[in-house]
Amino acid sequence: MKFRFYNVGYFFRLAFQGIFRNSIMSLTTVFVLISTLIVMGSTWALTTNIEYNLQEINTYNKIVVFITRETEDHTTSLLREKIQRLPSVESVEWVTKDEVLKDLAANYGDYGDILQMYDDDNPCKDELIITYTDSSRVTDLTYQINAMNEEEETFGVVDKINDRREVAEKIDSVKNVVVLVCTWLMALLFVVSVFIIMNTIKLAVFSRREEVSIMRYVGASGFFVAFPFVLEGIILGAFSSLTSFGIMYYGYQLLSKAIGDSGLITVLPFSSMLREYVIFFAGVGIGLGVIGSLLSLRKYNRD
């Protein structure tokens, strides 16, 4: 069979005819596909952002040692010297509680003045900010500082050590739960999508059964008969991809603005994931369309 360029128009005409003839099923397909893609896209965005923040935490090579409030300056200084001598320590910066309060006030911007009420009774503590060279020795470092807290000349100086590992571990476990739940949800939606597309295409085949039977009798190739149906799946998939991409884009912008403004975590800009997102949405959407339609045409191909 010769391929004619005008056949492309014919294929598209049949595909769109199928979509509009079974509009309810087509709408259902698009709705399920969009849901699947949004869940997949959100999971991806969430895990990418969590991983980025975890990485940031891990590259934050500092430990903060909070000094008990009653400690004399020379004792703090002694502890600082002791820590400074440890092999994996690069520097130890001593931030007094007044500086801590001042930094805090600066972070609050226009509302920083509120903290002036604490000028006479500063609730903050002095901090020793330790910059280390080897992140694999953080546990050792923490252990050694705790040991210094037991030594006579620096006894009870350390109030608390904050090495952020706990936070990282918590975030990581939350991420694992999110990934697990979303993976199951995605798998479920994937199966539902394929099933719905299969039924939509089956309906399209049914509504064109006379045409298909004549095509077969006159010797049309399997490709010529089947391609309009596969194209229908592709169009439904592509339309769903485009719509869900738009929803994700605007949703992400809104959310990242809200979260970013809070300053709690770093939200990656959408543009940094744009290329992967376009490939992902187009691939999954169109892929689902093709898989669904091919599966529904299996019976036809067997006959």
Partner 1 sequence: MIEFNNVSKVYPNGTKALKNVDLEIKDGEFVFVVGASGAGKTTLTKLLLCEERPSGGRIMIDKFNLSRMSKFKIPKLRRTIGIVFQDFRLLPNMTAAENISFAMHVLGESKKTIKARVANFLRLVGLEHKADCKPGELSGGEKQRVALARALVNNPNVVIADEPTANVDPYMAIEIIELLLKVNQLGKTVIVITHNVNLVNYYKKRVITMKEGQVVSDKQGGMFDEV
According to the binding rule CB under 8 A, does residue 214 interact with partner 1?
yes
According to the binding rule CB under 8 A, does residue 215 interact with partner 1?
yes
Q: Token pair 């596909």 is at which residue?
A: 33
Closest CB to partner 1 among residues 229, 277 = 229
**Residues pairing with 162 in the sheet:** 64
- What does the block give as tokens for 95? 């931030």
- Interface residue with partner 1, options 103, 140, 159, 211 (CB under 8 A): 211
In angstroms, give the least distance from the CB of 199 to partner 1: 24
Q: Can you tell me the distance from the alpha carbon of 256 to that of 252, in angstroms, rounded to the nearest whole number?
A: 6
- What does the block give as tokens for 214? 């004549």
According to the binding rule CB under 8 A, does residue 298 interact with partner 1?
no
Question: Which residues does 193 contact at the CB level (< 8 Å), separation at least 6?
Answer: 29, 32, 33, 36, 288, 292
| Number of residues binding to partner 1, judged by CB under 8 A | 22
Site string for partner 1, 2-21 (x = CB under 8 A): xxx-xx--x-----------
- Interface residue with partner 1, options 70, 166, 210, 261 (CB under 8 A): 210
User: Is the Cβ–Cβ distance between 98 and 88 less than 8 Å?
Assistant: no
Helix axes 6-21, 23-59, angle to 10 degrees: 100
Q: Can you tell me the distance from the alpha carbon of 60 to that of 268, in angstroms, rounded to the nearest whole number?
A: 18
- What does the block give as tokens for 143? 């252990």
- Interface residue with partner 1, options 111, 217, 263, 271 (CB under 8 A): 217
In angstroms, give the least distance from the CB of 210 to partner 1: 6
In angstroms, give the least distance from the CB of 218 to partner 1: 4
- Among residues 57, 230, 85, 222, the alpha carbon closest in space to that of 148 is found at 85
Closest CB to partner 1 among residues 14, 32 = 14
Q: Which residues bind partner 1 (CB under 8 A)?
A: 1-4, 6-7, 10, 210-211, 213-222, 224-225, 301
